[in-house]
Each structure stands twice: as C-alpha cells, then as structure tokens.
C-alpha cells in the first residue's frame, strides 16, 4: 500500500497548477540555457541567424500562445460546467485531474513563457555570440511541441465534457479503485470481525471523510509498541470528532496523535482507497439521467452495464489473510454495500421504466451466479427489491410477468 507522503505527492501531480508551474520553470531554463549551449553550435549559424531574424518568430509565438491559452481555458471551463450540470458535479474533480488537458495547457503556457523570456533577454542584449542561434533552434523544437499539443487538443476537445467520455472516466477510476482493493485484501491488513471489549478507542478529533489510511505506518507503530490496532472507519466513511477512528490493545502512552496522523480526513471523498465511491458516482449519473427533466433511459442502461463489470471483479477479502499485517485489522468490503451503492438509486428512480428494470434484472441475475457467495446473495436480495419497485410502478401485468421471469434463480 502507498505511504501517506507518497500518496500526497501523487495527489500533487494531479493538480493542474503544479504541472503548469514545472513546465513554466523548464521554459525559463530553456530560454536562458543558450549561454551555456552556444559553444556547441556551428559558427556558420551565427551569420545566418541574427536577433533581427529570430525576434519575429518569438513575437508570433508569444502572441499566439497567449491567445491559445486564454481560449483553451475558456473551453475547459465550459466543458467542466457542462459535465457538472449534465453528468454529475463529482465529475468536475476528475476532469480537473485529466492529464491530457493539463499537459496541453502546460505546453501552450510553457511556449508563451519561453518566447516572452527570450524576447526580454534578446531585447536587453544579454545574449551574445552564437546564443541567438541556440534560441532559434530551441524555438523550432518548441513549435514542434506546440503543433503536437494542438493536434492532441483538437482530438481531445471532440469528447471533453461529453456524457460518454465523462462516464468512461468515472468507470476507469472506479475500476482502478476496485482492482487495487482486490489486489490488497483489507488493505493488506487482517479482516476485522470483532473488536475486543478491552480495546481503547481513539477519537477522530475532526469532521469530514476518511480519504486515506497509511496501513504501513500503523503496522510500524503496532510492531514497535506491541499493539493490536482495529480500524473502525475505512476510506469513504464520514467521521465526527467523537467518532472512534480505531481502537487498540496494548500499553502505549502518548501515541494517539501518531496513530491519527496515519489518517487523512478532509471534506470530500476520493476514489483512491474508496471503491464504493466510484460506484456511487456512477449510480448518481444514472439517477440524474432518469430524472423527469432528462428521461434518458439509455444512459442508465449504460451505467448498469459498467457497474456490473466492476462488481464482477469482487472477491471475498476474508479468504486470503496470510499476507496481511498480523497486528492491524480492517473491515472487509461488504458485498451488500457495493450492490446497494450500484443499484439502489437506479431501481428507485427507474421503477416505472421497463427497459431499465429489464437490464437491472439481467445484471443482477448474472451477479447472482458469482463465485463469491456474499455477492451472489446480495444480488438476489437487490433483485427482490427491484421487482417490488417495478410491480408498484408498472401498469401492465405483462411487463411485470416479464420481470418475474428474469429474476435470479435461488
């Protein structure tokens, strides 16, 4: 599992201004590096390339890139607003972390800063000898990067903020979160079954959602102080200052703050260690599509298919405990909770839509044959609920009979 410092570093790499700042610094370095690189330039280029010939190229690059950056930012904001209003507000955070958008905007900004710094330095006559030739060669390389970035940007704009692309993005992070959790059952800890009565609870001392737990840090503390640590609040859970984050058994003084430091608590849920959140956001998209103002059954059916694929990768986390940290205990993912997150809003809001309920029944029938008994049983229970909603909302007995025929076999 990722440590807390590494997790925070990975989160920073997804922040747009971080990437753009790094590219901007690289651009400044490229603009001033000609003083060092000019000895490697052939002498004859000095007579061919002068500041008078290079300046127009840099001027065009600077002015055009400033306009492109401004235009691209306006397009990005419009796309994000469209995704937030038509898909789900939670999609906005994923779009902000889109690496293609960040790289393209960083390239445009970097080209602008490079050209601007080069113009300033040349105008101040700080370059001499063959340094101007270096600037021209670097400018050609920058123009090549800009052309590639524009082509990528044109392709990316064709789908940026669309329903299909945004839904696919949510599915990707949800599938990744589930795969990471299944590859490290119980977050590489032991499955939590019961908490000993003698265990001492440790309150959260904060409001918000648990975003991350550093299991490695807790394991090190457990081994150092001979503790047994029982984690109550998994990633995605909402906590209050009085909520017990964990309980521990053992003698350890003044260790509370150190144990709390293994948790990251903030005001929003994240996808990294929270597989349920991805399913919740997908169901939210389907529920919005089924609202009377939109009435888009096709999107709901698409979401059901995607969620079913994610749920099919579920495994019982209590079967393989040999590789788990022996002194730390985490509650395994509940199959009932996962099925509830994925289907409950859909069967409620799409109760009277036969096409949606048909796909729900087919998906739940498939999951009811899963080799994990807990997931299969949860699918059967959800199918009964779905049938109850449908029988109350559908008008024709024929439609109700069709759904009953699709019910999972016991």
Alpha carbon distance 350, 386 (integer Å): 9
**Rounded percentage of the chain residues whose pLDDT exceeds 90:** 51
Average pLDDT estimate for 157-173: 89
pTM, two decimal places: 0.86
Beta bridge partners of 239: 208
Average pLDDT estimate for 383-403: 94
Q: Which two tokens stand for residue 227?
A: 């503790």
Q: Which two tokens stand for residue 13?
A: 């790499």
Predicted local confidence at residue 376, as pLDDT = 96
Q: Which two tokens stand for residue 83?
A: 């995704």
Average pLDDT estimate for 36-48: 59
DSSP 3-state helix, strand, coil percentages of the chain (rounded to 5)?
A: 65, 10, 25
Average pLDDT estimate for 216-225: 90
**Rounded percentage of the chain residues whose pLDDT exceeds 70:** 92
| Res 211 pLDDT > 80 | yes
Q: CA 131 from chain center: how many Å?
A: 44
Q: What confidence tier does 161 reach under pLDDT thresholds 50, 70, 90? A: confident
Short-list 255, 252, 259, CA closest to 226:
252
Q: What confidence tier does 304 reach under pLDDT thresholds 50, 70, 90? A: very high
Q: What confidence tier does 1 reach under pLDDT thresholds 50, 70, 90? A: low
Helix (H) or strand (E) holding 189: strand 189-191
Q: Which two tokens stand for residue 311?
A: 């749920």
| Res 47 pLDDT > 70 | no
Predicted local confidence at residue 176, as pLDDT = 93
Q: What confidence tier does 130 reach under pLDDT thresholds 50, 70, 90? A: low
| Res 82 pLDDT > 90 | no
Long-range contacts of 43-48 (CB under 8 A, 24+ apart): 43/130, 45/130, 45/133, 46/129, 46/130, 46/132, 46/133, 48/133
Domain boundaries, the chain: 4-161, 171-181+274-320+333-405, 184-266
Unique residue bearing structure tokens 């047994």: 228
| Res 111 pLDDT > 60 | yes
Q: Which residues of 309-345 are buried (b: 16+ CB within 10 A; e: fewer)?
A: ebbeebbbbeeeeeebbebbbbbbbebeebbbbbbbb
Q: Which two tokens stand for residue 210?
A: 């648990």
Alpha carbon distance 57, 64 (integer Å): 11
Q: Which two tokens stand for residue 6?
A: 């590494």
Alpha carbon distance 355, 251 (integer Å): 59
| Res 232 pLDDT > 90 | yes
Alpha carbon distance 60, 58 (integer Å): 5
How many H-runs (helices) and E-runs (strands) does the chain carry? 17, 8
Query: What does the DSSP assignment read for 52-78?
Result: HHHHHHHHHHHHHHHHHHHHHHHHHHH
| Across 1-10, 74-83, 180-189, least confident range | 1-10
Average pLDDT estimate for 270-295: 92
| CA distances in angstroms from 238 to 234, 241, 286, listed in the order given | 9, 10, 24
Average pLDDT estimate for 204-222: 92
| Res 214 pLDDT > 80 | yes
Q: Which two tokens stand for residue 357?
A: 């309920």
Predicted local confidence at residue 338, as pLDDT = 97
Helix (H) or strand (E) holding 231: strand 228-231
Alpha carbon distance 381, 389 (integer Å): 13
Average pLDDT estimate for 139-166: 89
β-strands 238-239, 263-266 pairing = unpaired
Q: What confidence tier does 182 reach under pLDDT thresholds 50, 70, 90? A: very high
Alpha carbon distance 136, 134 (integer Å): 5
Predicted local confidence at residue 49, as pLDDT = 62
Three-class SS of residue 394?
A: coil
Average pLDDT estimate for 133-147: 85
**Comparison of pLDDT for 90 and 127, the residue scoring more:** 90
Backbone angles phi, psi at 235, to 5 degrees: -55, 130
Say if residue 202 is exposed, middle or buried (CB neighbours under 10 Å; 0-12, 13-18, 19+): buried
78's CB contacts (< 8 A; 6+ apart) are 161
CB of 331 closer than 8 Å to CB of 395: no
CB of 108 closer than 8 Å to CB of 68: yes
DSSP 8-state assignment for residue 368: T
Average pLDDT estimate for 362-389: 95
Write down the mean pLDDT value for the chain.
87
CATH superfamily of 184-266: Pyrimidine nucleoside phosphorylase-like, C-terminal domain (3.90.1170.30)
**Comparison of pLDDT for 137 and 230, the residue scoring more:** 230
Predicted local confidence at residue 6, as pLDDT = 84
- Max mean pLDDT among 181-185, 314-318, 377-381 falls in 377-381
Unique residue bearing structure tokens 């949510």: 170
Q: Which two tokens stand for residue 396?
A: 């024709």
């Amino acid at each position: 599992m990722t440590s807390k410092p590494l997790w925070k570093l990975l989160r920073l790499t997804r922040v747009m201004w971080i990437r753009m700042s790094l590219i901007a610094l690289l651009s400044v370095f490229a603009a001033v590096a000609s003083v060092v690189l000019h000895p490697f330039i052939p002498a004859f280029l000095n007579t061919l390339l002068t500041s008078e010939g290079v300046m127009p190229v840099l001027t065009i690059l600077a002015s055009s890139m400033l306009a492109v950056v401004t235009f691209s930012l306006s397009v990005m904001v419009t796309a994000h607003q469209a995704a937030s209003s038509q898909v789900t507000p939670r999609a906005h955070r994923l779009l902000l972390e889109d690496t293609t958008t960040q790289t393209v905007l960083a390239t445009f900004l970097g080209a602008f800063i490079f050209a601007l710094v080069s113009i300033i330095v040349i105008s101040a006559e700080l370059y001499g000898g063959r340094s101007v030739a270096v600037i021209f060669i670097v400018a050609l390389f920058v123009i090549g990067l800009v052309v590639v970035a524009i082509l990528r940007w044109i392709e990316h704009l064709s789908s940026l903020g669309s329903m299909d692309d945004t839904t696919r993005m949510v599915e990707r992070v949800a599938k990744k979160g589930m795969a990471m959790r299944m590859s490290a059952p119980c977050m590489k800890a032991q499955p939590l079954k019961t908490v000993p009565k003698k265990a001492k609870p440790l309150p959260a001392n904060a409001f918000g959602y648990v975003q991350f737990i550093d299991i490695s840090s807790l394991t090190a503390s457990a081994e150092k102080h001979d503790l047994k640590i029982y984690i109550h609040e998994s990633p995605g859970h909402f906590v209050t200052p009085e909520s017990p984050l964990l309980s521990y058994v053992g003698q350890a003084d003044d260790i509370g703050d150190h144990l709390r430091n293994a948790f990251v608590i903030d005001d929003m849920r994240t996808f990294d260690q929270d597989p349920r959140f991805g399913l919740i956001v997908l169901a939210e998209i389907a529920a919005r599509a089924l609202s009377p103002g939109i009435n888009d059954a096709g999107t709901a059916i698409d979401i059901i298919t995607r969620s079913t694929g994610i749920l099919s990768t579920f495994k019982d986390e209590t079967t393989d405990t040999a590789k788990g940290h022996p002194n730390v205990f985490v509650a395994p993912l509940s199959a009932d909770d996962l099925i509830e997150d994925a289907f409950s809003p859909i069967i409620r809001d799409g109760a009277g839509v036969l096409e949606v309920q048909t796909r729900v029944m087919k998906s739940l029938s498939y999951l009811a044959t899963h080799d994990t008994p807990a997931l299969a049983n949860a699918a059967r229970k959800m199918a009964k609920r779905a049938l109850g909603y449908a029988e109350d909302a559908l008008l024709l007995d024929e439609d109700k009979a069709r759904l009953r025929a699709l019910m999972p076999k016991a």
